[in-house]
Each structure stands twice: as structure tokens, then as C-alpha cells.
Structure 1
């Protein structure tokens, strides 16, 4: 585990001990399965297809069919593996899955590729275009302010095109404090809530020291989609429900955040279909 993760884990556990906070960590994820009355609506339980990139590369439609058999209702598209948006839509319709978003490069959305990208979102039957990351050189307050301006512009184009707000997908470094400013907070505070939202990756939020519960409350309705990704005790990735993140506590304020889609993700699954099944079983039974 690197220094950043050690620091985060130590700080989070210290906060939990002194203030009773367990929403980010704590080994209580499994206990949360039987707690509370809320559940993730079946129509909101999806798979981010980056998890399935190996099987998709050899059998795109077959992979979608197996996800549908497990019980998933939606997908987030991340890489087309040589298929057109129209071809993917046809396969989604045949397997009774619905695309809710697609990851599109920042340079595409801020450049001449924007009109086609928005048209492809429509073709997929999805609602949101998502910026998956920002170039490393932009990880300064000035760079994030430039991104905020661009996000507002692209978000306006998306709205004019009949789509939902532009979303941004975070990584741990997006929560860094640089020159006294939290980069992620710049995006939250300097983008128009009507035009820009966030697909919060809860693993990377935790990695960066952020508390999803607090974000949902402080910035209501800004988080229509989540990447639900668990953290192994050693700081690596884990199937959802098998790691240390307390999803029951985390999701308790999800309604305030406007969450509508819970998309499973694992960055490096040993067996993508086992990960898909394990994660679905956990989330479909979770009460919070």
C-alpha cells in the first residue's frame, strides 16, 4: 500500500474511533445487508462495462446476455470494441439491457468530436456523457477551473441536444489539495448544477480522502450515478461486498445526492463474471 492509502486509512480509522463515523471504512459492509428498509431499485442496478472488457473483446453480445441473466438492468459503456453505437444499441435491445451513460474522452467532448459524441449517446439510448478523467497536466487549480468552464459549455450543448447533464468521473488524485485548494471542490463549486453532475467512484473518493455521504448532503442532486467499487484490506480492488467499504452507511444519504444508478466496477477482476455475480448478489440484498 502506498503512502497516500496508508495516510487515508489511518485518518479514516482515527475519525471513526473518535466520531463514530463508519461510512467510508470499517468492516461493517456485510452487517449492513440486513439493516434498514431501503434497497437499490432493480432498475438502478447496473454494470460499468470496463469491468467486462476482456469478455466483451471476444463476445460482446454474449457478455451482455450473461449480465442480463445475472439480473443487471443497466450498463455504463466504456469502450466499444470495434462496434458502432448503433450495433451496441441493437445488442442491448436484444438482451433487454439499457445503456445509461458512455465514457467519452475530455478532448473529444471539448473538441470537434462533441456533436457526434452526443449523437452517439442518443443512439445508445443513454442519458449522460461522462468525462472519465482529466489530463494529468490539468491537475492544478487553474487546470480544474478551465475544466469547469469547459464542462459548463459541454453541459449546455448536452442539454440543448436533449440529454442529461455532463458527468465527471473522479479518481483519487482529483480530491487532492493543491496550493490550498481542493481540486474536486473547484468542479463542484464552479460548474452549473443544471448542466454538470458527477459519476462518483466511491473507491477513488475514499482513496482521495473524501466522504461520499458528506458529498451527497453538501451537494444535493449532483450525483446521479455511482461507480460501486470495493476496497480490499490491502488497498487493492475487491468484489463489491467483500472489502472494507461500508456501503450501507454510504448509501444512507444517496437519495440526497440524487443517485439513480449504482454501476458495479472492478478495475482488475480475476474472473469478470464471478465479480459480476458476487457484486450483484450483494447489492441486490443490501438494505440501508
Structure 2
């Protein structure tokens, strides 16, 4: 494994050995010889906020929260929880604040059931492109269960395409990267879903912490399958951190993002002490990142 791949996974794998290969500052320094080629930047239109991060202020003031995100500089959002609003109301607030929804998280049971047509209609109302399954039930975390999910994803992805939308996406957590009966569960989805119908919203924190999937390598091996990312940083102890303040080497990780087809970099923090401070810190880091 080369230096840059160790950088991506180091924050997770080093924890087991009691050694932290990066500090918050060192994690983002360019490796020797790389500085001259790290000139790409995330386009401003690609920096978004996954609204799960902002769930507490959204519950109190949905439009006011969106206004503050727009003032920080965010261009897009991923919808995760409506807080009593329907899709049309959220679209009106997004339009008023000049934000754009790019995706919405919709439960697996809805996606595989009779609620899918309504969910796809709501996606059109929101002006979004991708419907995202945020997680799979624990009972499906076996090779057979993931193969069942792959079949359901292909069906739902076809329905999304027929509705004029992008492919269905799957959002990962740590357990999705485990090896069970000799198979990496996440690899089953990659191999057994149709690339034209199913893609992935890769949560880079959980991919690193899960230990079985290197984002930099995934982007190369499975090209154009990752239109959206959850950009989440890892604290030295393995918890959550504002983007750019933890141990993950995003510059190395994003070096192959173009091959992976990444179009949206959505900030996420699962438990922010101050959601707006997290939003400001994470935006400033991504807007200034060169890779």
C-alpha cells in the first residue's frame, strides 16, 4: 500500500495499534513531490451540506438555517429529515435562499415498497437528482442479505431512471465494510448492482473506519460510481470532527475523485457541538483545499 493510501486509512487503522500517523495539521500536508500537481479545487457548486448535520437548528427554524448555510457559501444540500415540511415547502425555502437540493435520503422499506413512486415524485418537487438509501437493516448484513439488497437496488434504480432521475445511491456505514464469510459486504453491492442504475454516496469516514474500503482506491476501481460523498473527518480517538480538523488526508483521498465521478462533496458531522461552527469550519477547509 502506497503512502497516500496509508494516509486515507491511517486515522482508522492506526487506532488499533495505538499509533496516530497524523495530527490535524499534518494530515493535510502534501506528500513530497506532490505539491506541484495538487492544483485542483472543489468547484463552489459542488460544496454542500448534508442536512442531518443541522437537524437541531432545522427543527427550530428551517428557513433561517438554510439562510445561514447560504451565507456561509454552501451551494447545495442533501435532504435528510423534513421536520414537518412537505417537499414543496422545502423547495420553496431552498429557492428563496438560492440553495439547491441534490438528493434525499429515503428508507430502504420505502424504496423497495409501494412508497417508491411518491418518493420519486417528491424528488422532482425538491429539484434533486438522486434518491439515497441511508442504511440497510442489521438483519441484512450477510452476503445473502446484501445480494437481496442489490436486487432491490437494481429494481429501484430502474424506476428512478424511468422517472427521469439519476441512479439510486447507497450510503454506507462502518458495518457495511465488514468481511462476513470471506466476503466484503460493500463489495457485493459494487459487483452485483448495475452501474447504469445504482451508484454510491460514499461516507469517507465510515469507509475508513470500517477498515475494508479505501476511498482513493474505490474511485479508481469503480469509476463514475460515486457521484456524491459525505465528507466527514475523524478525531484522533476515532470520533467525529469538523472537516479539516481531524486525521483523514482528504487531499490524498480526493486525488482520484474525478475517476470516481464525484460531483458533490457534502459535509457531515454526526454530533456537532455547534452545528453552525461546524458548517463554517468545514466550508472554509473545503473551499481552500487543493489536491
Deviation digits for residues 97-152 of structure 1, max 9, x if unmatched? 00000000000010010000000000000000000000000000000000000000
Report the counterpart of residue 9 of structure 1 in structure 2.
Answer: none
Conserved 8 A contact 1:24-1:250: no
Report the counterpart of residue 281 of structure 1 in structure 2.
Answer: 284
| 1:29 aligns to 2:31 (yes or no) | no
Once the two structures are TM-superposed, the CA of residue 22 in structure 1 deviates from its matched residue by: 1.7
Instruction: Give the TM-score of the pair, scaled to structure 2.
Output: 0.91
The structure 1 residue matched to 2:75, chosen from 73, 76, 86, is 73
The structure 2 residue matched to 1:153, chosen from 138, 155, 176, is 155
1:203-222 superposed matches below 5 A: 203-209=205-211, 210-222=213-225
User: Post-superposition, which runs of at least 4 consecutive aligned residues in structure 1 deviate over 3 A?
Assistant: 32-35
Report the counterpart of residue 39 of structure 1 in structure 2.
Answer: 41
The structure 2 residue matched to 1:141, chosen from 140, 143, 146, is 143
CA distance in 2 between counterparts of 1:168 and 1:20 reads 23
Deviation digits for residues 129-181 of structure 1, max 9, x if unmatched? 00000000000000000000000000000000000000000000001111111
CA distance in 2 between counterparts of 1:155 and 1:230 reads 30
Conserved 8 A contact 2:7-2:27: no
| 1:91 aligns to 2:93 (yes or no) | yes
Report the counterpart of residue 18 of structure 2 in structure 1.
Answer: none
Report the counterpart of residue 226 of structure 2 in structure 1.
Answer: 223
The SS at the match of 2:224 is: coil
Report the counterpart of residue 14 of structure 2 in structure 1.
Answer: none
The SS at the match of 1:76 is: strand
The structure 1 residue matched to 2:256, chosen from 253, 257, 274, is 253
The SS at the match of 1:22 is: helix
Report the counterpart of residue 266 of structure 1 in structure 2.
Answer: 269
Report the counterpart of residue 243 of structure 1 in structure 2.
Answer: 246
Say if 1:140 and 1:20 are closer, same or farther in 2 by CA, change over 3 A.
closer
Instruction: Give the TM-score of the pair, scaled to structure 1.
Output: 0.92
Report the counterpart of residue 11 of structure 1 in structure 2.
Answer: none
1:127-206 superposed matches below 5 A: 127-206=129-208
CA distance in 2 between counterparts of 1:159 and 1:16 reads 38
Say if 1:60 and 1:178 are closer, same or farther in 2 by CA, change over 3 A.
same
CA distance in 2 between counterparts of 1:157 and 1:250 reads 32
RMSD: 1.6
Conserved 8 A contact 1:232-1:243: yes
Gaps in structure 1 of 5+ consecutive residues: 1-14
Gaps in structure 2 of 5+ consecutive residues: 11-20
The SS at the match of 1:240 is: coil
Once the two structures are TM-superposed, the CA of residue 20 in structure 1 deviates from its matched residue by: 7.4
Once the two structures are TM-superposed, the CA of residue 16 in structure 1 deviates from its matched residue by: 6.7
Report the counterpart of residue 7 of structure 1 in structure 2.
Answer: none
CA distance in 2 between counterparts of 1:215 and 1:167 reads 15
Conserved 8 A contact 2:5-2:214: no
